[in-house]
């Protein structure tokens, strides 16, 4: 298990990681999500002792990385920028790593087979495609048969077959009881891979929860109704004990409602509807809403940079059914009109 305790990293004026405290449990894939510049890579470098924290600490199975005698046997990592000498063959790259970590040489052939690179083991890395380099990086991470695996944006730039392969590999490794910690800036990808979710923005923890819980909170749908006869519509809904929410723009919303049932109800009471539409918030939208104040560089709706201050989303956030979800849908509706 990886444990972070108040982990903080400052680069000059820039607070890249800001008091992160969370655990990465074993036996599941934990998705580490955040927009560009959120601090994911810095956190991963701190876990691997490639950078020193300004304050706080990380433990791996209750020890600091520096106290692990042969670290590759505890934790294997694929970082975004893989250091592979272009003139070295895949086999020699792995052989060098194995020898420097006292790993049996036969393990090189095993990991080459595991990642599907056996046939190109004698080829130099300079001729490798991005997908092959990713596979070689994963082979390096698996070399010590570690209990903990960390992947930084492993599907970046891969084709669909490569993405599927990595997704299944991560699930298999977690299924074997290992700790699998994988960073991404794509909620849709994590929804397919991770069972647990840690979200950060501007170095701060925004969410730490099971993926199923995130999906449950954000898979809300609502039927939106607009009428020139609001009193009649509200009476009709009340008679059927259907709860309704009032939108700021004069519309009404029935959470988890059925458009056909609501349309029939309005018709049977002679209520004219000017809008009857099913609204669904996607997980990607929920993630973007969650991190909206944490995005380092993004344009406003009109292309101008946003000037709003970063908010502590972790304490303000409500599921899509709450304040933020409706506001977002209103903005979308305005945009559509
Ligand atoms: N060595 C460094 N010196 C100065 N600033 C740094 C350094 N490394 C990272 N930063 C800054 O810290 C912040 C976090 O960067 P980091 O690369 O960890 O984010 P990230 O979530 O991995 O982003 P991305 O998805 O774009 O890779 C950014 O603002 C980045 O510019």
Domains of the chain plus CATH, in order, are: 2-216 (3.40.50.300), 221-280 (3.30.70.790)
What is this structure's pTM?
0.74
Atom of ligand 1 lying closest to residue 34 CA: 21
ipTM of the shown complex: 0.95
Looking at the CA of residue 11, tell me the nearest atom of ligand 1.
4
What is the best residue among 12, 13, 14, 151 to mutate for testing ligand 1's pocket, by most ligand atoms within 8 Å of CB? Answer: 14
Least confident of 38-47, 107-116, 167-176, 186-195: 186-195
Å from CA of 58 to ligand 1 middle? 18
Q: List the single range of 168-182, 185-199, 305-319 with lowest mean pLDDT.
A: 305-319
pLDDT at 198: 95
Which residue, judged by its Cα, is nearest atom 18 of ligand 1?
39
Question: Which residues line ligand 1 at a C-beta cut-off of 6 Å?
Answer: 11, 14, 16, 34, 36-42, 185, 296
Task: Please list, in sequence order, all residues whose beta carbon lies within 8 angstroms of the beta carbon of residue 104, skipping any fewer than 6 positions away.
Answer: 98
Grouping H, G, I as helix, E, B as strand and the rest as coil, residue 77 is strand
Please state, in angstroms and rounded to a whole number, the distance separating the CA atoms of residues 34 and 40: 7
Q: Could you tell me where the DSSP H helices lie in the chain?
A: 40-47, 90-100, 106-114, 130-142, 160-175, 187-193, 211-218, 230-239, 259-268, 283-291, 313-316, 323-336
Quote the percentage of the chain above a pLDDT of 70.
Answer: 85
How many other CB atoms are found less than 10 A from the CB of residue 245?
13
Q: Is the pLDDT of residue 92 over 90?
A: yes
Distance, CA 301 to ligand 1 centroid (Å)? 25
- The reported pLDDT for the residue numbered 143 is 92
Percent of the chain at pLDDT exceeding 90: 51
Residue 318 has pLDDT above 50, yes or no: no
Which ligand 1 atom lies nearest to the CA of residue 44? 18
């Amino acid at each position: 298990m990886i444990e972070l305790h108040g982990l903080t990293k400052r680069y000059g004026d820039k607070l890249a990681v800001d008091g992160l405290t969370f655990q990465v449990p074993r036996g599941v894939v934990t998705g580490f999500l955040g927009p560009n510049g959120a601090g994911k890579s810095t956190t991963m470098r701190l876990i691997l002792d490639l950078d020193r924290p300004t304050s706080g600490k990380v433990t791996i199975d209750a020890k600091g990385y520096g106290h692990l005698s042969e670290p590759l046997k505890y934790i294997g990592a694929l970082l975004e920028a893989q250091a592979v000498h272009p003139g070295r063959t895949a086999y020699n790259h792995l052989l060098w790593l194995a020898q420097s970590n006292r790993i049996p040489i036969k393990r090189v052939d095993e990991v080459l087979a595991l990642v599907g690179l056996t046939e190109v083991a004698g080829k130099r890395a300079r001729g490798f495609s991005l997908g092959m380099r990713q596979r070689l990086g994963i082979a390096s991470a698996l070399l010590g048969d570690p209990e903990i695996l960390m992947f930084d944006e492993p599907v970046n730039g891969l084709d669909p077959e490569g993405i599927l392969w990595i997704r299944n590999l991560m699930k298999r490794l977690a299924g074997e009881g290992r700790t699998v910690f994988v960073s991404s800036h794509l909620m849709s990808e994590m929804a397919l891979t991770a069972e647990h979710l840690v979200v950060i923005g501007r170095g701060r923890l925004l969410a730490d929860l099971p993926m199923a819980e995130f999906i449950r909170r954000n898979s809300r749908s609502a039927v939106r109704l607009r009428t020139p006869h609001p009193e009649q519509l509200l009476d009709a809904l009340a008679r059927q004990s259907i709860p309704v929410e009032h939108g700021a723009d004069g519309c009404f919303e029935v959470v988890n409602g059925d458009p056909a049932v609501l349309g029939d109800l309005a018709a049977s009471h002679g209520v004219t509807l000017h809008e009857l539409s099913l609204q669904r918030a996607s997980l990607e939208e929920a993630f973007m809403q969650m991190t909206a104040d944490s995005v380092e560089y993004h344009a406003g709706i009109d292309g101008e940079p946003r000037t709003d201050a970063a908010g502590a989303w972790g304490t303000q956030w409500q599921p899509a059914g709450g304040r933020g979800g409706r506001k977002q849908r209103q903005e979308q509706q305005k945009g559509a009109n």
